[in-house]
Structure 1
Amino acid sequence: MSLALRNVSRTFAGNTAVRNVNLSVQPGEIVGLLGTSGCGKSTILRAISGLDDGYEGEIEINGSTSKGVHDTTGFIFQEPRLLPWLTVLDNVTFGLKGDKATREKRAKEYIANVGLVGNENLYPRQLSGGMAQRVAIARALVTSPEILLLDEPFSALDAFTKMQLQDLLLDIWKAYNSTIVLVTHDIDEATYLCDRILILRGQPGEVDREITLTEQRPRNRGSQELAKCKSDILESLDLNRKN
């Protein structure tokens, strides 16, 4: 499913968070939004999802322009945001339509996809951080979204769990051919996962540069191309430069 942003800006109480953002994402592409805190990355993601409709400009999904919540998009937040009184299975089926047997069968398929077979009856308090985020991924996928939006989904996890879930995300992308937009502060994560990276700078945030990665997947995390790309991104961010 294709996605296009045209001159998208967002102002809160007189303060402009992002200004004139233009972006085109092709079906099955993984695009990263990278930048320092406060440059409007999450603001853009919320606008795409329809959770925030107060922006100016146009957002087009598969040729259709709308400011409402899109049932073709799934959202994975930084925190799992699971309902603590529901089991893993009930969290994944929450909000699904259909009879109980159909809903549970579908949910168990996605629970298996994220590697949690046998944990269906656990409650969130019984899960590790990585397991809880796997549940959140299953919950986002169970509605079969064509566009998957991720807002720093692995930032609270330890390095090894983060790498495992990055690989899981790529497995899901390969299996379902989802279009993915990823917000991250992690340069290594962006270069490992993304086809293109948009670097946002300033307050209000604006697209400062676009970087395309050509290395085929699966990528070597220590490859020369990824190292060069990281160097280019750090140079673009120039953290000592004033916005």
Structure 2
Amino acid sequence: MLPPIAPPLPAAAGIAPPPALLLAAGRGERMRPLTDHTPKPLLAVQGRPLLEWHLHALAQSGVRRVVINTAWLGGQIRRRLTHSWDDFGHFPAPGQGGPLSISYSNEAEDFGHALETAGAIARALPLLAAPVFWLAAGDVYAPQFRFQAQAVQRFAASDALAHLWLVPNPAHHPQGDFGLAGDGRLLHLPASSPLPRYTYSTIALLRAELLAAPWCDIPAGNPQGQAAPLAPLLRRAMDAGRVTGELYSGPWVDVGTPERLAALG
């Protein structure tokens, strides 16, 4: 089990910790039958639901607001976490608060289906109510990742629309996703390029601006529930030189199959 939440790390000068959006709406088809009755982000690794590993790290870093998007079995996530989270195996009564205040973007209830990543982000922007925010998939295990205030400060001072953490390519994704230039810019490489590619960890800092024209054509707040992937937006921004990244070398697993889950214990 994780230790109780320690006092948050100090914020970088003049930069308050931004909110975070945790993606938890997917059906988890490859995880069936485990996900037939349990949403994938609530599957346990070392006795703790995957989603709560991120919540612990966010609270440790001083983040105080989290939005979680839900669709498949989303009611279970809301019942587990209520509207705040205190990391002690129980949750405060309504109104008592906790280290993290949680709100929900309920895609299945609103539209009957999940909205994919870009659609989900566009829908959640009014709840995030911030020009910069953290993004992380709720089914990724990265127990040593820290949502550092210094990274927020560097990102806020740059012209980048997104900053992505990349990882060495796992066995199930040997081709990788993006290249990384020497100046930290990410590259949308053609298949014929000899340059190395790395895998997007699904952890990032984003500007809300990325979800507006000319990068994205989804109306503000995604009132029609348009489903759209994030990769095309990132590629457009990369081609304009406005996506940065860095390599993350800590433990990281995309918990996409029962075998990968079992390997984590």
User: TM-score scaled to structure 2, two decimals?
Assistant: 0.27
Greater relative contact order (Cα < 8 A, sep 6+): 1
